[in-house]
C-alpha cells in the first residue's frame, strides 16, 4: 500500500518545477480524492475516478475553476507518480467561465481602507492596491525587494515563476517605512506578529493569509460594499482599471501585472469607464420616449 502518496506527490511536483501554490492545490486535490474513497490512490480504479468527478460535478456542483484544478492535480498524480495513463485523462475538462472581474472605484477603496482597524492589515491592503500585487506576492515581500532609489518593487517569482518590477508610489514607500519601524524584521516586510504582536522582529514567516482575508472581509462589509465576487484580488483588478482610465498604455500595464499575453490585460478595456460616459448619454438621448 502506498501510504506516502503526499510526499511522492510533492516531490514529483517540485521536480516538475511547479510553484508552491500549485503544489499545494494539486496535492490537496489528491487528498480530497483519498478522503472520498477512504483508500490510497493506488487502489482507486479508473471507473471510480470517473464516478468521483461525476459526483463532484453533478452532486457537489463544484465550480468549473475548482474542477479544473482537481482534474489537473489528479491527472498529474496518476500519470507521473502512479504511471497510470488511463483513457479518462485524455478527456477530462471543464469549460472556463468568461466572467468579467469586479472593480471597485477609488472612493470605494478609500472607504473600505478607512474601516481597516489594524495598522499591519491597512499597510498590506494599501500596498496590494497601489502596486497591483497578487495576494501572496505582497505577503512575501522582503526588505531587499524595495528599491527606493529607482522607486520600484522587485517582485520575485510571481505567477509562472516570473520576476518583474512595478512602480512604487512615494506615499506607499512612506507607509511601508512607517510600518517597518514597528517591527524591524531584517528580512520580511509583513512578518507574522504572533498573538501578542511580539514576534515581528524575529519571525521567519509572513502574516497568515486567513488573517488578511478576514480583515478585508470585515472592512468590505463595514464599508457597505455589496458588489459580487469582491476579494483581495479585486484590488489588483481595480489597480489595472484605474491605470487604464488614467491614460497608462495597456502594454505598460501588461508588464506591471506580469501578464504573459496582452489578451489577458485587454479584459480591463471592458471595465474602464473611458468613453462609456459619452456612449451612455448618446443611448439615453436615442431612447427617449420609450
Task: List the catalytic residues.
Answer: 134, 159, 233, 236, 259, 268
Q: Is there a contact between 248 and 158 (Cβ–Cβ < 8 Å)? A: no
H-helix segments, 81-169: 106-113, 119-131, 135-139
- Residue 285 and residue 267: Cα distance in Å, rounded? 28
First to last CA, the chain: 72
Q: What is the DSSP letter of 144?
A: G
Q: In a 3-state reduction of DSSP, which class is residue 151? A: coil
Q: Is there a contact between 128 and 136 (Cβ–Cβ < 8 Å)? A: no
Q: What DSSP line would sit under 174-237, residue for residue? A: HHHHHHHTTT--SSBSSB--TTTT--TTT--SBPPHHHHHHHHHHHHHHTT---SS--HHHHHH
Amino acid at each position: 500500500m502506498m501510504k506516502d502518496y503526499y510526499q511522492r506527490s510533492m516531490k514529483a511536483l517540485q521536480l516538475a518545477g511547479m510553484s508552491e501554490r500549485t503544489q499545494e492545490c494539486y496535492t490537496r486535490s489528491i487528498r480530497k480524492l483519498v478522503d472520498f474513497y477512504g483508500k490510497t490512490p493506488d487502489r482507486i480504479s479508473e471507473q471510480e475516478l470517473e464516478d468521483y468527478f461525476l459526483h463532484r460535478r453533478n452532486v457537489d456542483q463544484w465550480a468549473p475553476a475548482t474542477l479544473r484544478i482537481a482534474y489537473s492535480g489528479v491527472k498529474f498524480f496518476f500519470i507521473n507518480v502512479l504511471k497510470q495513463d488511463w483513457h479518462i485523462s485524455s478527456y477530462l475538462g471543464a469549460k472556463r467561465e468568461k466572467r468579467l472581474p469586479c472593480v471597485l472605484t477609488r472612493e470605494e477603496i478609500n472607504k473600505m481602507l478607512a474601516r481597516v482597524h489594524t495598522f499591519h492589515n491597512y499597510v498590506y491592503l494599501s500596498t496590494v492596491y497601489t502596486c497591483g500585487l497578487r495576494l501572496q506576492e505582497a505577503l512575501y515581500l522582503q526588505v531587499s525587494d524595495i528599491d527606493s532609489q529607482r522607486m520600484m518593487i522587485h517582485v520575485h517569482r510571481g505567477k509562472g515563476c516570473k520576476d518583474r518590477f512595478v512602480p512604487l508610489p512615494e506615499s506607499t514607500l512612506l507607509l511601508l517605512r512607517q510600518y517597518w519601524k514597528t517591527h524591524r524584521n531584517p528580512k520580511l516586510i509583513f512578518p507574522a506578529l504572533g498573538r501578542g504582536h511580539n514576534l515581528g522582529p524575529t519571525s521567519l514567516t509572513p502574516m497568515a493569509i486567513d488573517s488578511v482575508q478576514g480583515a478585508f472581509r470585515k472592512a468590505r462589509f463595514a464599508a457597505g460594499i455589496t458588489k459580487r465576487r469582491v476579494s483581495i484580488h479585486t484590488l489588483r483588478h481595480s489597480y489595472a482599471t484605474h491605470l487604464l482610465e488614467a491614460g497608462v498604455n495597456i502594454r505598460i500595464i501588461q508588464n506591471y501585472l506580469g501578464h504573459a499575453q496582452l489578451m489577458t490585460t485587454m479584459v480591463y478595456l471592458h471595465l474602464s469607464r473611458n468613453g462609456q460616459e459619452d456612449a451612455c448619454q448618446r443611448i439615453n438621448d436615442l431612447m427617449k420616449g420609450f
